[in-house]
Amino acid sequence: MNDLFETQAYQLARNTDPSTSHEAAEKLDATKLEALVLSYIKIFSIEGAISEQIEDLMWVNEQVKASSVTPRYRKLLDKGLIKIDGKRKARSGRSQQVMYALPQV
């Protein structure tokens, strides 16, 4: 394994995580997953998307679990690719933040 790959995997799993988490982090292509999550957020360009909607689509279409999806929101936000504006209720009745994809220049 090269040093860059090991560094990226290390960033996805904490020192205190079990070895299985580190193995999963090594197999996860975070950049590809971020792009995929962003593409699903873009589907809801007018009304915005809540996490529940993205998680549902990612599971049905890609067989990707919510635990792999939710960390991508922060990365996309930090990169200026999405914004959060407002809240909307999920099926559970709890409020979730509404995410919008930002135009790319």
- What pTM value is reported for the model? 0.72
Mean pLDDT for the chain overall: 83
Cβ-based neighbour number of residue 102 at 10 Å? 16
CATH of residue 95's domain is 1.10.10.10
The answer to the question of residue 81 being in a domain is yes
**Domains in the chain, number:** 1
In which band, very low, low, confident or very high, does the pLDDT at 71 lie, cut at 50, 70 and 90? very high
Burial class (CB in 10 A: 0-12, 13-18, 19+), 22: middle
The answer to the question of residue 15 being in a domain is no
Per-residue confidence (pLDDT) for residue 61, from 0 to 100: 96
Question: 45-64 pLDDT, tens per residue?
Answer: 999 999 999 999 999 999 99
Looking at residues 88-101, what average pLDDT do you find? 97
The answer to the question of residue 58 being in a domain is yes
Question: 3-20 pLDDT, tens per residue?
Answer: 333 334 444 455 676 666
Per-residue confidence (pLDDT) for residue 27, from 0 to 100: 55
The answer to the question of residue 19 being in a domain is no
Distance CA 11, CA 66 (A): 19
39: three-class secondary structure by DSSP: helix
The answer to the question of residue 18 being in a domain is no
pLDDT above 70: residue 91: yes
Per-residue confidence (pLDDT) for residue 29, from 0 to 100: 74
The answer to the question of residue 88 being in a domain is yes
Residue 90 is part of which domain span? Answer: 30-101
The answer to the question of residue 41 being in a domain is yes
The answer to the question of residue 21 being in a domain is no
